[in-house]
Chains A and B, each alone.
Chain A
Amino acid sequence: MAESVLILVKKPPYGLEDAFSALRAGLAVLVSGRVPVSNVLLIGEGTLNAVASQRPEAIGMPSNMEALHDLMDLEADVYVVREDLQELVGDVQLLEGVKVIDRERARQVIDEHDLVTTF
């Protein structure tokens, strides 16, 4: 029996459906009310899903920002690993409400969840 699930997102937005699918899965689990905790950890290129200035409409894709907002509205934690983002693109503005953490904290976050699924 699982009380918590962590959606670990490694994939960047838009080239693949994976990141969007990941966030929808996290959201659905939360909406179901069956699992009390469903959080998201954005890691590696997955951190790019939290960039504030995305314009997915430019390529007609559904918005990963909206999916993240929906999750945060339902009180899911959305974590972004600072070092990974820095290394990839330097300083960029992120969506309001995401929790910027370091790798050490990311390790703890993973450890705190019963189940981890990767996208």
Chain B
Amino acid sequence: MNMDTNTAVKLARAALEKGYHVGIFGYGEGVTLIKEGQDPKRFQNVGQEVQDLLEKGLEVVVCETCSQARGLVRGEEIKGTQIGSLTNNLSRFVAKSDRMVTIAR
């Protein structure tokens, strides 16, 4: 576990609160962001944070191929998030974006 998803979500919150439309695309290890039932005990619960931000208009999509590789299947995602594809979803995010921020080491 690294803190990249925490950082992404904090940045998303700040942008949403300023009135921007924000989409997060989870790629590679980033797909774990949408897994329902996250329970990191002492660490911040990023899943919970995502749930809150969905109500503020955040869009979250993760890569299906990366999810399958990690055994994450449809039905296990937080309600309101989506397991989608690079071609359908990432491309739409890219086309609609004024800025793209990559949070990955």
Which A positions have Cβ atoms within 8 angstroms of B? 1-2, 5, 17-18, 21, 24-25, 27-29, 31-32, 34-35, 115-119
The answer to whether A32 and B27 touch across the interface, beta carbons within 8 angstroms, is no
Please tell me which one of the listed residues B85, B87, B95, B100 contacts residue A117 in the complex, with CB atoms under 8 A apart: B100
Number of CB contacts from chain A to chain B under 8 A: 57
- Supposing A18-B28, A34-B91, A34-B92 touch, asked if A28 and B86 sit within 8 A by C-beta, the answer is yes
The answer to whether B28 and A118 touch across the interface, beta carbons within 8 angstroms, is no
Alpha-carbon distance A118/B27, docked complex (angstroms): 12
Q: How far is the CB of B87 from chain A (nearest CB, A)?
A: 4
Alpha-carbon distance A5/B86, docked complex (angstroms): 14
Which B positions have Cβ atoms within 8 angstroms of A? 27-28, 65-66, 85-88, 90-92, 94-100, 102, 104
- Supposing A17-B28, A21-B28, A21-B66 touch, asked if A28 and B91 sit within 8 A by C-beta, the answer is yes
- Supposing A2-B100, A116-B100 touch, asked if A25 and B95 sit within 8 A by C-beta, the answer is no
- Supposing A21-B66, A116-B100, A118-B104 touch, asked if A5 and B94 sit within 8 A by C-beta, the answer is yes
Closest residue of chain B to A28 (Cβ to Cβ) is B86
The answer to whether B66 and A35 touch across the interface, beta carbons within 8 angstroms, is no
Q: How far is the CB of A113 from chain B (nearest CB, A)?
A: 10
Closest residue of chain A to B25 (Cβ to Cβ) is A25
The answer to whether A1 and B98 touch across the interface, beta carbons within 8 angstroms, is yes
